[in-house]
Amino acid sequence: MNKLRFFWHKVGPVVTVLLVIIAIWYVATVWLNSAWAYDKAKRADTTISFSQMVSDTMIQDKPLLPAPHQVIKEIYKTTVLKKVTSKRSLIWHGWITLSATLLGFAFGTTFGILLAIGIVYSRAMDMSVMPWVITSQTIPILAVAPMIIVVLNAVGISGLLPKAIISMYLSFFPVVVGMVKGLRSPDQMQIDQMRTWSASKNSSFWKLRLPSSMPYLFASLKIGIAASLVGAIVGELPTGAVAGLGARLLAGSYYGQTIQIWSALICAAILAASLVAIIGTIEKYTLRRMGIQL
């Protein structure tokens, strides 16, 4: 009984919001697709009743906004019913995007942490690097992505790596910002304490600064992994829609396949939510083991 209550306590709010979104979605579907339904009837020189119009808005081939069940059916068709190796499988496309995301995230996190260490330990880097880091994020990624693809292609690098680099470009930023703050989070007393033990910079880093920065790092990683996914998808757009969720989005928009676009979008959202949830779980476990109460 208690377990059930606990379950609803956690899941209840999420389900409620989901139901509200789906309800709004259905209303919007009817509203946005009705024009096409009436138009069709007009061209056929017939009139349709309201209920006929509503049922038509749910089954159009290229609706302005596909109904939720159309998207779910499409996702089911392209995941469960297709072989994973098929080019029509969303799982196959999703994996391509995911692999670029994870590689880019690994690059971005490593680069971000190294940059943060440099900024915290070197005054020159503190003064010079941070403005550039911020500037890098004010440039629209959509403008930078094709150049990275083209330049790397010219030197013979294509496929996973260019996408991972674009993904890294977006994900290192929150890590730098979070880690600089995290590595500087020990208070004056803790730093003085290290001094009284005449601790080396090395020991202060490994024993004080790095552990202190963990809560900040995890907050950054959650933003970073979501940014990585966006980067990977954006990186797939200029490659001519070969593979990946980004390619599905682009191909869908070329041919007006709105159902395909929306199912790729939903898959990307589910992927992002799962990645953030995984990091959240690792965070909870790690910080609890470190005796830090959230």
Which chain residues interact with another protein by CB under 8 A?
A: 189-190, 192-200, 203, 207-208, 211, 289-293
Task: Specify the 3-state DSSP secondary structure of 156.
Answer: coil
Least distance from another protein to the Cβ atom of residue 290, Å: 4
Q: Which is nearer to another protein, 135 or 196 (CB)?
A: 196
| Both structure tokens of 123 | 């005054």
Q: Which is nearer to another protein, 34 or 193 (CB)?
A: 193
CA distance to 8, 10, 19, 23, 141, per residue, from 14 (Å): 9, 8, 9, 14, 32
Least distance from another protein to the Cβ atom of residue 190, Å: 6
Cα 111 from Cα 176, distance rounded (Å): 8
Least distance from another protein to the Cβ atom of residue 291, Å: 4
For residue 63, how far is the Cα from the chain centroid? 26
Q: Which is nearer to another protein, 41 or 210 (CB)?
A: 210
Query: Which residue type does 123 have?
Result: R
Q: Which is nearer to another protein, 113 or 194 (CB)?
A: 194
Least distance from another protein to the Cβ atom of residue 202, Å: 10
* CA-wise closest residue to 55 among 37, 76, 77, 35: 37
Q: Which is nearer to another protein, 88 or 207 (CB)?
A: 207
Task: Specify the 3-state DSSP secondary structure of 57.
Answer: helix
| Both structure tokens of 61 | 């081939």
Cα 274 from Cα 268, distance rounded (Å): 10
Q: Which is nearer to another protein, 70 or 212 (CB)?
A: 212
Burial of residue 241, with CB atoms counted within 10 A of its CB: 0-12 exposed, 13-18 middle, 19 or more buried: middle
Least distance from another protein to the Cβ atom of residue 181, Å: 18
Q: Count how many residues are written for the chain.
A: 294
Least distance from another protein to the Cβ atom of residue 277, Å: 24
